[in-house]
Amino acid sequence: MKIVGGKWSNWSGGVTSKPKQVVAPKDEVALAAAIRSTEDTVRAPGSGHSFTPVCASDGMIVDLAAFTGLKSVDKNKLTATFGAATPLWAIGPALLKEGLGLKNMGDIDRQTLGGVVGTGTHGTGRTLGSFSAAVAGFKIVTANGDLLNCTPEENAEVFAAGRCSIGTLGVMTEITMHVRPAYRLVEKNFLMPPDELFAKLDALVNENRHFEFFWFPYADVAICKSLNETTEVAPKPRSAEQMFVRGEKGSSQEKTFAAINAVLPYTPFLLKQTHALFSQLMPGAPKVRWSSEILPSPRTVRFNEMEYAVPYAKGPDAIREVVAKIRKDRINTGFPIEYRSVAADDVWISPFQGRESATIAVHQYRTVDTTPYFNACEAIFKSYEGRPHWGKRHSRTSRDLATVYPEFGRFQELRKRLDPGGKFLNAHLRSIFE
């Protein structure tokens, strides 16, 4: 968590707040006391990797640094319990020592477990759900300081809703995840013209455990990535310390990418050439690694992002319309559009509740105004029944969210019962839930 000069900022630097107090409780008793002690807004930012102001607070910010690490493993039930503030880069090595791994992971390794669960963060794979869908149980401290243990059997309603709640039901302290025996993945990258890609997309998604593609919108090819389980030998896995260092260092390629994105807004005439060059340079050679070293990835180039989940069958039309809009309006961006698939789940306000989805993510370098680009994309996503990723830029409010989240009203009723005073709501979250 980043606090400088009394100000908190998120990972991209696009969101800041100046809290009245920052508390770092050492255990659940101290956390409960801190929450009870204030009437101000309470937020627990984790790594601050959300691009919206979901973590901002001018009241109390809770530093959960004490709530990290692997707490227990049940190899019979195939579950593992972690402190909610455990970063993703530390989860893989801890599980691998036990001969285990997560079923799926998201994209960026700086995020904390509580953050990815709370926002519905996901990876890719038509049969694979989000982090929220893999939660077996959790502990949460509510607005009045109660500590609830939530499973399908105990506090079942809070469990059903709390697996993706944007931190509005309370502060998670521990999360138990469904896991599986450790496995290795082989990653392959290849280029494909968009027309051919869309003709083969269903087959590519169905025939690979993980499949995604990245399309620089002014390029004539898309970068495709497949990941599949393998019995091939993998290099010795990195330690948690090595995984941390990996994510702090930027490669020469990443530094070049950042430098180009910093100047590209002033050189729009280079868009097509730049996108063509990036498309040719980004695909890497095939590699075999333990799953935790391929998923997630280090990201040192900082950006802002919008991502929407649309019904799976509508994904190809949605991304083609986005690209057509970018080209028509000559929208300037140095980042590719990312396209993934996610299985349906039963989490109340998960972007994937009740429907198999395709996700489409657009990015902009952290110093570049996102307004024209993201507004244009959001209008398209909304027309395709899109649901916003809760940790990424969007402008949706309570006025229209109930139309795309069938359990939105039910979630609202539970949230008001647990937090009638709105202690866990900042201004951004009030626009969503009030």
DSSP, residue by residue, 51-113? SSGGG--SSEEE--TTS-SEEEEETTTTEEEEETT-BHHHHHHHHHTTTEEES---SBTTSBH
* DSSP letter assigned to residue 37: T
CATH value at residue 227 = 3.40.462.10
Q: Are residues 111 and 209 in the same domain?
A: no
Q: Are residues 190 and 148 in the same domain?
A: no
Q: Are residues 344 and 198 in the same domain?
A: yes
Is residue 229 in a domain?
yes
State the pLDDT at residue 43: 98
State the pLDDT at residue 253: 83
Q: Are residues 232 and 323 in the same domain?
A: yes
Give which of 115, 122, 215, 130 is closest to 166, Cα–Cα: 115
Is 7:15 a contact under the CB 8 Å cutoff?
A: no
Is residue 345 in a domain?
yes
Q: Which domain holds residue 133?
A: 70-182
Is 377:359 a contact under the CB 8 Å cutoff?
A: no
For 60-103, how does the pLDDT look when each residue is reduced to its tens digit (9 = 90+)?
999 999 999 999 999 999 999 999 999 999 999 999 999 999 99
Which residue type is seen at 76? N
Distance (Å, whole) CA 211 – CA 425: 36
Total of domains in the chain: 2
Q: Are residues 148 and 205 in the same domain?
A: no
State the pLDDT at residue 247: 83
Q: Are residues 135 and 147 in the same domain?
A: yes
State the pLDDT at residue 55: 96
pLDDT tens string for the chain (434 positions)? 778 889 999 999 999 999 999 999 999 999 999 999 999 999 999 999 999 999 999 999 999 999 999 999 999 999 999 999 999 999 999 999 999 999 999 889 999 999 999 999 999 999 999 999 999 999 999 999 999 999 999 999 999 999 999 999 999 999 999 999 999 999 999 999 999 999 999 999 999 999 999 999 999 999 999 999 999 999 999 999 999 888 887 788 888 899 999 988 888 899 999 999 999 988 888 999 999 999 988 889 999 999 999 999 999 999 999 999 999 999 999 999 999 999 999 999 999 999 999 999 999 999 999 999 999 999 999 999 999 999 999 999 998 999 999 999 999 999 999 999 999 999 999 999 99
Instruction: State in Å, rounded, how far the first CA of the chain is from the last one.
Output: 28
Distance (Å, whole) CA 152 – CA 134: 12
State the pLDDT at residue 311: 98
Is residue 158 in a domain?
yes
Beta-carbon contacts of residue 39 (< 8 Å; ≥ 6 apart): 421, 423
Tokens coding 350: 């998960």
Q: Choose the final residue of a domain: 143, 159, 182.
A: 182
Q: Are residues 283 and 383 in the same domain?
A: yes
State the pLDDT at residue 175: 98
Q: Are residues 208 and 188 in the same domain?
A: yes
State the pLDDT at residue 416: 98
Is residue 47 in a domain?
no
State the pLDDT at residue 106: 86
Sequential DSSP letters for 331-383:
---SS-EEEEEE--B--TT-TTBTS-EEEEEEEEETTS--HHHHHHHHHHHHH
Strand 21-23 versus strand 60-62 pairing type: parallel
Q: How many alpha carbons fall within 13 Å on the CB side of residue 59?
A: 17
Is residue 13 in a domain?
no
Give which of 434, 433, 431, 424 is closest to 55, Cα–Cα: 424
Q: Are residues 153 and 280 in the same domain?
A: no
Other Cβ atoms closer than 10 A to 27: 10
Q: Are residues 373 and 264 in the same domain?
A: yes
Name residue, tokens 């896991």. Answer: 179
User: Rg of the chain over CA atoms, in angstroms?
Assistant: 21
State the pLDDT at residue 283: 80
Give which of 20, 122, 405 is closest to 415, Cα–Cα: 405
Is residue 324 in a domain?
yes
Q: Choose the final residue of a domain: 149, 182, 215.
A: 182
Is residue 38 in a domain?
no
CATH value at residue 97 = 3.30.465.10
Q: Are residues 235 and 153 in the same domain?
A: no
Is 228:212 a contact under the CB 8 Å cutoff?
A: no
Is residue 94 in a domain?
yes
Q: How many alpha carbons fall within 13 Å on the CB side of residue 257?
A: 23
Q: Are residues 197 and 238 in the same domain?
A: yes
